Structure 1
């Protein structure tokens, strides 16, 4: 019964979800692109705090995507309705059979499925006793690979399978089917002999396979042994060529005894590229398909299979890149010409305008190259005894460097050591100092385009010892050899140190790798890696503050590793040449996947860019308008400062914020210095100092708050309860030791405590510590000295500023986490971890608020009312919001209540959240942009940075500095979003131009090899024409896919650039546009064009 109830509840939930989904066929996206919201499928119910979606603060407010495709699966969320909507089609209605197919199948069909499968073990319900072919002889044979499993006599079976010699045959005897073969039944295969249609005569000079073993063929349906005869007539092709003519790949070109079908090699090739299935696993699968019982065996041809696969990959590479059409053939292949290029990156002479180098300064940045470099230490390679005999078949033709000159050059850097001037690089130090015994390579380094994650030609090479500059320099220079673009932006997680002296190191490299002197290089750190650097690296190396990069995050290369790492274990055991060839093949496959997905990915990028451009333009203008009232002079100064810094990075950086001058750690240091001075002067009277006592009290209060928070959790396990009891015991001991300290510095406290009820030592988290702030002004002098009150006042003051700094930090962290919440989470594990991180952040925010409230009440008791309250204000629930958040409106509160009720939250808890007892739910003010919302002032917590009583006036300076930094960040957001609009549009134009150029290139290959035999000439022409037509079709489809959204993007750019345009009117007049976007799931048919050889 419980099981049945669970299933009934499951059906009810799915039915409810189906009804909800059917009522919402579209997800609205404003044509004004204020916010875009897409609904995720099968998402778990939201947690109480998941209503928040905040942007966080820069430079780390746009974390890299967790999606392996490197793109937003959803774009920013939205609520409001305005004229002229942009719509994204929602997913189909949910049904029981689609949401729980196994449940329905189990209840209705599994029994009949089992019966039908068992029926096929016999002769089946269609069996009549006679052959289904001649209808006269007894039927005892059936083919497992023919449709319908027909039962035939021997003669009909052989006649039907003359051209299907690899089908698997069974014979009915002893009341069950036995495995047999066409060879055992007498089928012989004659190849290579030219004869007229219908002529079945054998070649009079035919040559059979050696001995009685027969000829072994690896097919997609198993391993087969056949009777094969070659043509021995005068002028007949060689044996290995006769095999190729029938679609079988010979294992040897000298008297071949085994082969593999093209179908087998092709299907394994695709399976290996997409699913990363190893050669050994596939071959073992063929053995089990042939005989899973283990009663028979076939000769082992695994080594030959691996050889054939290497040859297959090599020939397919030459075919795809037009080497068969080139008169110089495969031998004339140049380095890097067999790598799938990035169609959206700038390639002079291919997809750039003829006068691109004459573009005005305002547009030159559009023709810059954005690259990413990184090292991967999972791609190790073991030294093999026969490495010296194995050579790569594609030496530097594709994505890997030409290894012979590369290794010769790297031998010069055997003892190179790098010195880091930035913290956080212990991982690199460890990699450079790992043991390398038995390894040919400790990893690989790679260069990709940072916008589209395509691996560059000659952009991947082995690392012999760690991440040495010499290796990474060589790989980068190989990847951009011959580059004539004016600007290259390079993303690298250690760019702050690696970029120094790069040109000097380049001069020591071979001459052909040198860059032109007029090419400008910019070195940046990927967004996710930047927080690990020292603070001085943040602004100079941040993408967010770099002109001309749009919304690039620089993290795309990390997503490349997610694919290549899947072959790390199998590739590590290969010989050198084999490993380089297979790495080349997998890199090209990755690049082709990115090409196939380019239209969808650029469409998503443009959707996001439209949204971001409108949001941040309006937000920046609103911020600027608000500052003009009291800070007009400062605005002009800030603008001149940020422009000067963008032009010369050695000038004053307007993004730098002064460090908070008031912190508890600084005060502890200051008090320790004072106590030391007293000791030097001989004024100290106790080992336990007053400041030590007060600071210990503050630490105990923190421990009490932590324990109270733990106790609020429900359904504690026995282990958790044991941990709590131990924590209570430790806390009680601390409090008793603290009372001993109080007895020294506050001796009159004991009499006061004796007049009170004894504390409940069973619950030490609730015991009052009785510092001076616990008493009123009249009682305090009777209990403690003025000195103790002064020290507590100083400690509480510093503690308040510490709380505000911590609160700002947690709000920024919350913003980053909730950005990830709006994306389709790729796994349940990651979803749970994100929720756990969010819960931790929310708990910390609540704890910080409690600490602030207690410390402020203590300071008020000690200091009394005064001007300081205008700076360290009462912290209300509505104040705890990010710099870009606002509070919920009434209709949003109603929706919030409904959402939480659906999630199973009680009404009491919901009202507790909305009342501000817990952290109040908020939404992003910048993304709503309702009338007046975009000018909502940030919470006061973002402007309270220094102590107003500081005689140096640091508080005023810090508030102005905070405003300057936030204004500069708002300006940078608006500029990067506008750049992204222009950059994606340019990338779309380049991609279309590349398709047309490639189509023309294939057309030019038609007549490059004249005077050939008719069959070869026809094949070359057919392939070139096919590829040319496919490129034109691709360009047509992409252009049609993008047209409407490109027009909308152009309108948004005009709206941004024209200050005379009425913001609300112009956006409101845009017509409704509907765009289909694939939101969820892995791409379908990603490899279908592999059949068309790219």
Structure 2
């Protein structure tokens, strides 16, 4: 039906039986307009022209007798008359045809050739002014022959914001609407086959008009047209839309914010996020001389002359290499810079609301160099009255180290707030975004974490990444632009991004609050339950420790292990270093070295083989009685490989302990007999005895056939202590992970599939717990043998027997559990080597760290609720201030004619009304939230 109706419209349709014009009823009805809502009505040429006096850009068609052909209103005699209206409500006109009478207007319907007359009377304005008053944007101020409608410029601007299409792509679509038979335009002057009529190709003109439109609209929305001093008084960053939720003294801060108590100062802190984008590069085309741009640092881009002067002045500044992991941004600043005039863009955003900051964007020349990022950071905070800043940057751990000494070099050119350099260390906190932090070393994860830092709420620092995701599609077009056009375009897009984020603040803050209040209650109750199970004494001690660390980072960190158990790798390193030192001093025992292997290396390799045997035994048991062919093949291959390793190790062992050969021979006989009865030969390789020194002394020195020196036993003793600590630590870690998986399963797993997947993960984790526990028991059994010979009993206080019932996690919260289950297992109790039997055992550091994390989670969510509450109030105050600010623009200019004054007044009042309407909508959006917050603070979740 749809197809049939569409084809029917190609003919005269319902008008097929009407020969006379529907209006005059005299002349033949053979013309129609395809753009009018009543498209299809057949009129005569005269009536159609008369009906389109105010619609000169519509497309009309002529019925030839068998089909419709396109026709222009100009060819039918319609002309556009510009001029001014008289007191008789008529357009005053003394027609003066446009030069050449081939005027082109670009409209949403295509590229139109029109007949246009300017007013030539004595009161006529300049042709450009006449075009503008007709809502036509002139391509030039001298003898204009091309214009674009305001509507098409506005349409493309919005379209580019949402789709990021280029100007050329948009213009090509208009050209195809005009004539879809033309192929893609090749503007090379030597191209002879292009079917486009050269005189109607207005792409360069449209490009220029769009560039002007963007900047003029930006100036208009910043009330620059209301300034009596005009554009000469536009300040740097004035045209950038501000974030209503960020603290801005004089605009949205509460009365007396400077005197807020220390525990509430974070509510008035500025959260900044710094990042660079290497997708938004620009090719080495054009130049500042050819394309300086229309904006001069009026919005987000820092003023280019001062910025480039700074870059050139400090270009040779040396950049220290990273002390963290190898960050390319630090160690390889020249990445992807080849062949580009700009290798990317650096920017500063507000970290909590994801909006670009004024004067805080700059082009990068050679990657993410400090001289660029320093400039845009200091420009973004220059002149601020705020004294508390949180700064997020993915390489903050390296960038901040010499930042203040660099600032002293820049201070004269960056106009940093006086006194800022002297007080910065007390007020600025540097952090690494949450997503980027795991890629840093452990020390950075403790020092620069949002989760562990006080007063940051649930800020994640990843705001710039979200903004880049919106801007990245622009890269395809902006990389080909000149420097000025590119800056103007990005400024326009960043302004639109801030606009969309502003009008979305009502929903976003409400959504965050609805999530934050229940989480605040949940984490507070979890912390309370944990502290109840731990007791008041350790909680008080740890709270004091946490508060001292929060006040001074030089104090012990409650999230960090203070007592470092010597794990296996550490012991191996110490033993190797001691052996090397003895050999260097000439005091080494020759019997400790056979070939190129030291006795400590042999023992360490033996412990590794022992672990591999244990792992293989667990894996074989996990396959069950009926393994698949792939499982059977994999186990046989692993068994054969491990057997070869063991036999190679035994050959070396015989050189150190020749007396073990007799035991080996007896063992080989037993293994041969076992293999005859075993249908899968070699599957029991995990049972091969390695006869390490602990096993030898445990078997009575193999009845006197093998002698182990005390030094050798001491070596294995130290290795076994390290192995026991390491496996016990692994047991604790896996139990904490298992607790986390149980929580996830209870909270999120819904349905058979999700529950089965969660159960499989937990089952696999339980197998790893059993394997780690078995490793601990093996190490402890060896220590029993070695300790008896060496007369060492100090390890017994730290490393107790591990029963099955001891392998359990921390006591569950708010659950019906037995008294025994509520008591902590000894594995969570710290029994350090300095402690003595009978001393009061302090809680294990793992428990303290778990408590510290629970406390941090509860504090972050409470802070988040406080911050959201304050931000909502700041948004309201900002909108009130902005409404009043717009009203203050009324009447600023003097000496205007009545029409101009009325226009400026109307615009200012309309913008004031926009702020008022936003405030009304936000109040509706946030209705009921204060009650929710109050209920959450009193203890209820608020649902």
TM-score normalized with structure 2 length: 0.82
1:141 to 31, 44, 49: 31
Q: CA deviation at 1:155?
A: 2.7
C-alpha distance 596-193 of structure 1, shift in aligned 2 (>3 A): closer
* Match in the other structure for 1:463: 364
1:340 to 241, 247, 263: 241
Matches within 5 A, 1:588-599: 588-599=495-506
* Match in the other structure for 1:101: none
* Match in the other structure for 2:542: 638
Larger displacement relative to structure 2 (513-522 or 488-497)? 513-522
1:771 to 662, 667, 689: 689
* Match in the other structure for 1:661: 565
Secondary structure at the aligned position of 1:444 is classed as strand
Secondary structure at the aligned position of 1:178 is classed as strand
1:682 to 583, 591, 601: 591
| Alpha-carbon distance between aligned partners in 1 of 2:628 and 2:87, rounded to the nearest angstrom | 84
* Match in the other structure for 1:911: none
Kindly indicate whether structure 1 or structure 2 has the higher relative contact order, using CA contacts under 8 Å at least 6 residues apart. Answer: 1
1:735-760 deviation line (CA, Å, top 9, x unaligned): 33434544756343211111113598
1:1018 to 898, 902, 910: 902
2:448 to 525, 541, 544: 541
- Please state if 1:280 is matched with 2:168: yes
C-alpha distance 560-704 of structure 1, shift in aligned 2 (>3 A): farther
- Please state if 1:258 is matched with 2:166: no
* Match in the other structure for 1:1029: 913
| Alpha-carbon distance between aligned partners in 1 of 2:499 and 2:627, rounded to the nearest angstrom | 51
Q: CA deviation at 1:843?
A: 8.9
Secondary structure at the aligned position of 1:748 is classed as helix
* Match in the other structure for 2:530: 623
- Unpaired runs of at least 5, structure 2: 184-194, 655-659, 749-753, 786-795
| Alpha-carbon distance between aligned partners in 2 of 1:222 and 1:162, rounded to the nearest angstrom | 18
Contact 2:95 2:117 (8 Å CA) reproduced: no
Contact 1:691 1:791 (8 Å CA) reproduced: no
Secondary structure at the aligned position of 1:554 is classed as coil
Larger displacement relative to structure 2 (141-150 or 346-355)? 141-150
C-alpha distance 562-645 of structure 1, shift in aligned 2 (>3 A): same
C-alpha distance 493-369 of structure 1, shift in aligned 2 (>3 A): same
| Alpha-carbon distance between aligned partners in 2 of 1:165 and 1:779, rounded to the nearest angstrom | 111
| Alpha-carbon distance between aligned partners in 2 of 1:424 and 1:207, rounded to the nearest angstrom | 71
* Match in the other structure for 2:611: 698
* Match in the other structure for 1:515: 417
Larger displacement relative to structure 2 (754-763 or 149-158)? 754-763
- Please state if 1:753 is matched with 2:671: yes
| Alpha-carbon distance between aligned partners in 2 of 1:289 and 1:783, rounded to the nearest angstrom | 102
| Alpha-carbon distance between aligned partners in 2 of 1:1002 and 1:384, rounded to the nearest angstrom | 41
1:205-263 deviation line (CA, Å, top 9, x unaligned): 4123416xx22221112222222222222231111211111111111111111111111
* Match in the other structure for 2:70: 179
| Alpha-carbon distance between aligned partners in 1 of 2:519 and 2:360, rounded to the nearest angstrom | 32
- Please state if 1:292 is matched with 2:195: no
C-alpha distance 757-994 of structure 1, shift in aligned 2 (>3 A): same
Contact 2:509 2:872 (8 Å CA) reproduced: yes
Q: CA deviation at 1:711?
A: 12
1:766-805 deviation line (CA, Å, top 9, x unaligned): 7535236999999996999797999999878756654565
| Alpha-carbon distance between aligned partners in 2 of 1:247 and 1:138, rounded to the nearest angstrom | 35
Q: CA deviation at 1:585?
A: 1.0
* Match in the other structure for 1:1002: 886
C-alpha distance 122-764 of structure 1, shift in aligned 2 (>3 A): farther
| Alpha-carbon distance between aligned partners in 1 of 2:760 and 2:332, rounded to the nearest angstrom | 32
| Alpha-carbon distance between aligned partners in 2 of 1:763 and 1:250, rounded to the nearest angstrom | 91
C-alpha distance 525-245 of structure 1, shift in aligned 2 (>3 A): same
C-alpha distance 669-480 of structure 1, shift in aligned 2 (>3 A): closer
1:715-737 deviation line (CA, Å, top 9, x unaligned): 99xxxx7x996896576344334
| Alpha-carbon distance between aligned partners in 2 of 1:697 and 1:521, rounded to the nearest angstrom | 52
1:654-699 deviation line (CA, Å, top 9, x unaligned): 3321465253433554676798889842245577835424423534
The number of residues matched between the two structures is: 882
Q: CA deviation at 1:943?
A: 2.8
| Alpha-carbon distance between aligned partners in 1 of 2:877 and 2:37, rounded to the nearest angstrom | 46
* Match in the other structure for 1:485: 386
C-alpha distance 755-870 of structure 1, shift in aligned 2 (>3 A): same
TM-score normalized with structure 1 length: 0.72
| Alpha-carbon distance between aligned partners in 2 of 1:136 and 1:724, rounded to the nearest angstrom | 97
C-alpha distance 481-667 of structure 1, shift in aligned 2 (>3 A): closer
| Alpha-carbon distance between aligned partners in 2 of 1:251 and 1:508, rounded to the nearest angstrom | 46
Matches within 5 A, 1:799-948: 802=726, 805=729, 845=765, 848-849=768-769, 851-852=771-772, 854-855=774-775, 858=778, 872-874=802-804, 879=808, 943=828
C-alpha distance 939-1034 of structure 1, shift in aligned 2 (>3 A): farther
- Unpaired runs of at least 5, structure 1: 1-111, 825-833, 887-924, 1056-1062, 1074-1094
| Alpha-carbon distance between aligned partners in 2 of 1:491 and 1:135, rounded to the nearest angstrom | 75
Contact 1:392 1:576 (8 Å CA) reproduced: yes
C-alpha distance 820-113 of structure 1, shift in aligned 2 (>3 A): farther
Contact 1:697 1:738 (8 Å CA) reproduced: no
* Match in the other structure for 2:509: 602
| Alpha-carbon distance between aligned partners in 2 of 1:839 and 1:277, rounded to the nearest angstrom | 48
- Please state if 1:990 is matched with 2:891: no
- Please state if 1:303 is matched with 2:204: yes
* Match in the other structure for 1:241: 129
* Match in the other structure for 2:473: 566
Larger displacement relative to structure 2 (451-460 or 151-160)? 151-160
| Alpha-carbon distance between aligned partners in 1 of 2:746 and 2:73, rounded to the nearest angstrom | 59
Task: Name the larger-Rg structure.
Answer: 2
- Please state if 1:268 is matched with 2:177: no
Larger displacement relative to structure 2 (660-669 or 392-401)? 660-669
Contact 2:542 2:558 (8 Å CA) reproduced: yes
Contact 1:133 1:152 (8 Å CA) reproduced: no
Contact 2:381 2:416 (8 Å CA) reproduced: no
Secondary structure at the aligned position of 1:1017 is classed as helix
C-alpha distance 768-341 of structure 1, shift in aligned 2 (>3 A): same
C-alpha distance 464-189 of structure 1, shift in aligned 2 (>3 A): same
Contact 1:800 1:852 (8 Å CA) reproduced: no
Matches within 5 A, 1:99-498: 112-124=1-13, 127-130=16-19, 131-134=21-24, 137-153=27-43, 154-173=45-64, 175-192=66-83, 194=85, 203-210=93-100, 214-294=102-182, 297-298=196-197, 299-420=200-321, 422-434=323-335, 436-498=337-399
Contact 1:527 1:542 (8 Å CA) reproduced: yes
Contact 1:207 1:232 (8 Å CA) reproduced: no
Contact 1:209 1:227 (8 Å CA) reproduced: no
Q: CA deviation at 1:149?
A: 2.7
C-alpha distance 786-620 of structure 1, shift in aligned 2 (>3 A): farther
| Alpha-carbon distance between aligned partners in 2 of 1:441 and 1:760, rounded to the nearest angstrom | 71
Secondary structure at the aligned position of 2:272 is classed as strand
| Alpha-carbon distance between aligned partners in 1 of 2:622 and 2:76, rounded to the nearest angstrom | 80
Contact 2:321 2:331 (8 Å CA) reproduced: no
| Alpha-carbon distance between aligned partners in 1 of 2:544 and 2:114, rounded to the nearest angstrom | 82
| Alpha-carbon distance between aligned partners in 2 of 1:486 and 1:861, rounded to the nearest angstrom | 60
Q: CA deviation at 1:815?
A: 9.3
Contact 2:360 2:380 (8 Å CA) reproduced: yes
| Alpha-carbon distance between aligned partners in 1 of 2:744 and 2:207, rounded to the nearest angstrom | 43
Contact 1:700 1:735 (8 Å CA) reproduced: no
Q: CA deviation at 1:339?
A: 0.8
Q: CA deviation at 1:628?
A: 2.3
